[in-house]
Structure 1
Amino acid sequence: MSSSINGKVCIVTGAAQGIGRGCAIELAKVGGRIVVSDRNSDGGQKTVSEIRDMGGDATFIACDVRNKAEIEALMQRAADHFGGIDVLHNNAGTHETDLAQKTAVHEMDDDIWDLVYEVNLRSIWYAVRAALPWLRDSKGASIINTASMASFTAMPVSPAYCATKGGVLMLTKAMAVDLAQFGIRVNCINPGTIKTPLLDKYFDIIEDPQVRAAALKGFTGGNLIPRMGTPEEIGKLVCYLASDDSSFTTGASHMIDGGMTIWRGSVD
């Protein structure tokens, strides 16, 4: 795998922390030249420093993925810096519980719904269109979109998150159909319970102890592998999808959830 990623220019959005940081670091480990992007400059620079400290090649470009012009500038600057774009990992995401106190379907404000949509779903459309000129010139270009187990199963106080992650799943398939003519593969990953700052905030915001306990059990009690996953484990899957080892894989949805969504039981 490493030989087929070595030297590829890989853009990872939302790479200041959590899954994005883990994926950027894993791609760098196998020789990818990494564009770390996030609106959090301090966190993004920390990711770059970690990659450089282990001998990798990385640069940081700030970008708010809600802004079309900033996304277009990200792609242009990335291509100018490294000479092209080979891999685009659309990982930036948010959750309504990170933005407001009341996020149940009957309580959420319109602006929160809109913001989650703009970050989680619309940004992927913007990013792919902006990167397309360089992806078309790449041999073996790969787009990886971060969806979620919430693309398949609902969660409390998360209507916008569930709806947009379901949208990522189908947008991935639609993009795979339209971009196959250019030799571009498009796949998505569906992380389950991964230990990240975003997940920590999700649990912190739930005030009702019974709802919080039910959510925690829902996140971890059904894992056949009885633990949370790590960003590094997600990164290894992303490395596979970015590499030529997955050259016959497109339009696919890859679950990485410890077996949670395949059954209805509970691991005590």
Structure 2
Amino acid sequence: MTDLARDFDGLVAVVTGGASGIGAAVTEVLTARGAHVAVVDVRDAVPAPGVTSIRADVTDDGSVRRAVERVVDQHGRLDVLVNNAGIGAQGTIADNPDEEWHRVWDLNVVGVARMTRAALPHLRRSPSAAVVNTCSIAATVGLPERALYSATKGAILALTRAMAADHLAEGIRVNCVNPGTADTPWIDTLLSRAADPAAERAALERRQPHGRLVSPQEVAGAVAYLASPLSGSTTGTYLAVDGGMQALRTRGPR
């Protein structure tokens, strides 16, 4: 039986957007459990044992393909792909021009397709192939002033299920994780723009039944579960890490 603490021993993982936030937390937990992780990001990752940092842009197909080939050339394999790179967007359906729709869609949705497409030939050769996409509570719950962002995350949820169906027979599992509002640099940026950052943060915390923001480490734990070889019967699904926001109707946090 595989030791849970080392369930990724010998495996090679790629984490996009792994230089900060949720991606950095995922990188930390996967390396702690035995994986070698290649962080693919437009910025350099913090140097750490078991981590390779590769600068690449998921909106550029050539950049993506070069990054994947570098990983395989260096390590001889690719077993796990965590499609975490993404950007946020605010506003109602009327608030963003076409250019912003194309920009966010290209990164959040087509970027997942580019990375997975490039990784597929190598994942097909892995005995423990898994893809985990970072989705969002916005895919399953209507949130105010998140029209564009929600559209991309709804697409990721549908894409995850379609990919799982397409590649199940090849031994590739595909799942996604749906965080609630997580305590990430993007949220920090949003709060810094608010007229009253403390009040806005308190409002975000109250929105979640457990009364606080989700930590990147909590999301990373869910990603590790979905990616682990120990989860061989889990595919085509999403795991909500949202403090009960999707499913619970409570009287408020205690």
Q: Smaller-chain TM-score range? A: over 0.9
Partner in structure 1 of residue 193 of structure 2:
205
1:263 is aligned, of 239, 248, 253, to 248
Using the TM superposition, give the Cα deviation of residue 216 of structure 1 relative to its aligned residue in structure 2, in angstroms: 5.0
2:128 is aligned, of 133, 140, 149, to 140
8 A Cα contact 1:78 1:84, kept in partner: yes
Q: Distance in 2 between matches of 1:79 and 1:205?
A: 41
5+ unaligned residues in a row in structure 1: which ranges? 98-102
Using the TM superposition, give the Cα deviation of residue 193 of structure 1 relative to its aligned residue in structure 2, in angstroms: 2.0
Name the SS for the 2:177 alignment partner: strand
User: What's the TM-score, normalizing by structure 2?
Assistant: 0.92
Using the TM superposition, give the Cα deviation of residue 231 of structure 1 relative to its aligned residue in structure 2, in angstroms: 1.2
Q: Which amino acid aligns with 1:267?
A: P
5+ unaligned residues in a row in structure 2: which ranges? none
Using the TM superposition, give the Cα deviation of residue 214 of structure 1 relative to its aligned residue in structure 2, in angstroms: 7.1
For 1:108-257, what aligned pairs fall within 5 Å after superposition? 108-206=96-194, 217=203, 219-257=204-242
Moved more, 139-148 or 219-228: 219-228
Superposed CA deviations along residues 139-165 of structure 1, whole A, max 9, x for unmatched, are 020000000011112333321110000
Using the TM superposition, give the Cα deviation of residue 242 of structure 1 relative to its aligned residue in structure 2, in angstroms: 1.5
Identity %: 35
Q: Distance in 2 between matches of 1:214 and 1:77?
A: 43
The answer to which structure has the higher helix fraction is: 1
Using the TM superposition, give the Cα deviation of residue 203 of structure 1 relative to its aligned residue in structure 2, in angstroms: 3.0
Q: Distance in 1 between matches of 2:237 and 2:74?
A: 31
Q: CA RMSD in A?
A: 1.9
Q: Which amino acid aligns with 1:225?
A: H
User: What's the TM-score, normalizing by structure 1?
Assistant: 0.87
Q: Structure 1: which 4+ aligned runs deviate by more than 6 Å?
A: none
Q: Distance in 2 between matches of 1:107 and 1:250?
A: 36
8 A Cα contact 1:222 1:267, kept in partner: no
Q: Distance in 1 between matches of 2:245 and 2:144?
A: 16
Q: Distance in 1 between matches of 2:17 and 2:39?
A: 8
Q: Distance in 2 between matches of 1:2 and 1:85?
A: 20
1:74 is aligned, of 55, 62, 67, to 67
